Amino acid sequence: MLVKQISVFVQNEPGRLSFITRLMGENQIDIRSISISDTVDFGILRLIVNDPEKCEQVLKQNGFTVSITNVIAVGIADEPGSLAKVFSLADENGVNIEYVYAFISHTTQDACIIMRVNNGEQAIKIFLENGVKVLSAEEVYHF
Amino acid sequence: MFWQKDAETMPRAEIRALQLKKLQHTVNWCYDRVPYYRQIMEKSGVTPDQIRTLDDIRRLPFTTKADLRDNYPFGLFAVPKKEVVEIHASSGTTGKPIVGGYTRHDLDTWSDCVARLAVAAGATQDDISQIAFGYGLFTGAFGLHYALEKIGSMVVPISSGNSEKQIMLMKDFGTTLLVATPSYAVYLSELAKDMGVTGELKLRLGLFGSEVCTTEMRNQIEKNIGILVTDNYGLTELGGPGVSGECQYRDGLHINEDHFLAEIIDPDTGEILPEGETGELVITPLSKEAFPIFRYRTKDIAKITYEPCKCGRTFARMNKVIGRTDDMLIIKGVNVFPSQIESVLIQSPHIGPHYQLILRKKNYMDHLEVKVELIDSSLLDQYGALEKVANEIRADLRTVLGLDCKVTLVEPRSIERSTGKAKRIVDLRNLPNA
């Protein structure tokens, strides 16, 4: 149930994001969600795309340091309190969330929460046992 | 003002006669006592008795930093260790320093040489001398300390750093003479201005060394705290400061010619160049007991004039060092070779082989940034892992260079590739706000 996420090392310099997203466009790679956080000098760009393998290959060919990481995606109602429920479950069961970002489905209006946790399998088990909808890769790409 | 007027104003013919006598003695001293020197002289087919005129110095082979390193630590000492009373050392390219030893007589000559340039710059026994060079293995602090003590000034051995306290003591003690690297002096002068105490300082003279003092730095210090700034020159390999220094006219650095024989050579051919031409400075110390050396290639680019100076000294003057024949950088007074940095970077599996060094001045202090290309994609999960890599490299560089720097991770292939060395070093120190 884990979803593949692309992580790219990006220098904190004008034009880098535009260059990467243009590469995605030219190679028909659809970005479902994107997150970037930065320090003074560099950032790690995280992408959920429709074709992670191709995306990794394209970026590598263009000289980027790229890795594929497994993350968890859950679908929740876009309403107050629903995200709190997910995080409380994680907290109560000792699952540590390292980073998180989200996007809204264009079909169901649900929110897709992407998270990287310290123990993916354990988190998925807990979410499933407690009725949280864990999304497969296929579901995320077509969310 | 002179420290040893007879020597410092000796007629040129007498200087040359004395230099020849002492050169012959030094060559014999090396040949008889240091197997390495005998060996390289034999290889060059020269014996001590062939040095009949000063011009015969061209028969002698050169000594280089690599030769000193190969004989680390005491291989070139010419006296038994029990006669060596002090050791100093410089930073080395692979962590091994260049080690210099001093007999009691060497220390005496050394302090006289430094005392001469301190007095030439205007130091007297009434001065209160604050020494803001780092004490330790480096020659600078002790060289100036011994000399200023010998002159009879009150020495304040505060060492470098702790800048607010430096200013406080300057004010409370009534310091009149400051010894520092020029960049640290600029920093202190800015700080004194910011603290609003410049009016309470009695500083009048600066003896600066261990890095080149640019005209801009000199003007800045003089503007901030109104002192006379003088420059002096020396190398650990030659015993430290005391090789040459500026007098109050500041028209070149007087070489202590009775203790040092200077040549200017073409760095490519090794041929001695005529007076007034610019080339590599080669120095033969003439009075060393413990650590003699002949024809040391300083790699510093300079020129020499033998015209007597307005101050009355007859010693030749070299201009400020205007460059290097190798890629050595001087950062915060520390000698740094790019090869040292390479030796550290090559050990990290997380980064590529290309790098770039960027030098900047902030608050008149040198700052080194080392850019390296991140190639290990397994580190992208957590920022912490990337920061750890950068911090580890920084710590290793600090150990090898003795200098803190900033390590910046950049994308693979983002550092410009070039066949020459120049592109690896970006020196922005002459550009403000770079």
Q: What is the pLDDT of residues B25-56, one digit of tens each?
A: 999 999 999 999 999 999 999 999 999 999 99
* More confident site: B303 or B332: B303
* In the predicted structure, residue B432 carries a pLDDT above the cut 70: no
Average pLDDT on B235-239 reads 94
**The predicted structure's pLDDT at residue A1:** 77
Q: Search chain B and give the residue with CA nearest A115.
A: B381
Partner residues linked to B318 by β-bridges:
B253, B304
In 3-state terms chain A splits into helix, strand, coil percentages (rounded to 5) of 35, 35, 30
Mean pLDDT of chain A: 91
Task: List the single best residue of B370, B379, B383, B416 to mutate versus A (max A Cβ within 10 A).
Answer: B383
**Selection from B209, B202, B213, B251 nearest residue B114 by Cα:** B209
**The predicted structure's pLDDT at residue B332:** 82
Task: Quickly count: other Cβ atoms within 10 Å of residue B35's Cβ.
Answer: 11
- pLDDT > 70 fraction of chain A, expressed in percent and rounded: 99
CB atoms B414 and A8 under 8 Å:
no
**The predicted structure's pLDDT at residue B45:** 96
* In the predicted structure, residue A38 carries a pLDDT above the cut 80: no
Mean pLDDT of chain B: 91
ipTM value greater than 0.90: no
Average pLDDT on B392-416 reads 89
Q: In chain A, which residues touch B (CB < 8 A)?
A: 7-11, 16, 37, 39, 41-42, 44, 63-67, 69, 98, 116
Contact between B301 and B326 under an 8 Å Cβ cutoff? The reply is no
**The predicted structure's pLDDT at residue B128:** 98
Question: pTM for this one?
Answer: 0.71
Q: What digits encode the pLDDT tens for the residues A106-127?
A: 777 789 999 999 988 899 999 9
Residue B45 CA to residue B61 CA, distance in Å, equals 10
**The predicted structure's pLDDT at residue B279:** 93
The 3-state DSSP class for residue A104 equals: strand
Secondary structure tally for chain A: helices H, strands E: 5, 7
Q: What digits encode the pLDDT tens for the residues B265-289?
A: 999 999 999 999 999 999 999 999 9
* In the predicted structure, residue B423 carries a pLDDT above the cut 70: no
At position B381, the amino acid (one-letter code) is D
Is residue B376 less than 8 Å (CB to CB) from chain A? Answer: yes
**Selection from B306, B307, B304 nearest residue B319 by Cα:** B304
Pairing mode of beta strands B128-131, B154-156: parallel
* In the predicted structure, residue A103 carries a pLDDT above the cut 50: yes
Average pLDDT on A65-93 reads 93
CB atoms A65 and B411 under 8 Å:
yes
**Selection from B107, B119, B116 nearest residue B146 by Cα:** B107
Contact between B373 and B410 under an 8 Å Cβ cutoff? The reply is yes
* In the predicted structure, residue B211 carries a pLDDT above the cut 70: yes
Average pLDDT on A126-140 reads 91
Contact between B282 and B265 under an 8 Å Cβ cutoff? The reply is yes
Contact between B192 and B225 under an 8 Å Cβ cutoff? The reply is yes
Cβ partners under 8 Å of residue B390, min gap 6 = B407, B408, B409
Peptide bond into B48 cis (omega under 30): no
Q: What digits encode the pLDDT tens for the residues B86-106?
A: 999 986 545 678 999 999 999
* In the predicted structure, residue B419 carries a pLDDT above the cut 80: no
* CB contacts, 8 Å: B380 with chain A: 7-9, 44, 65-67, 69
* In the predicted structure, residue B216 carries a pLDDT above the cut 80: no
* CB contacts, 8 Å: A9 with chain B: 374, 377, 380, 386, 409, 411
Residue A65 CA to residue B215 CA, distance in Å, equals 45
Cβ partners under 8 Å of residue B14, min gap 6 = none
Residue B305 CA to residue B275 CA, distance in Å, equals 6
**The predicted structure's pLDDT at residue B422:** 44
Structure tokens at B153: 């000034």
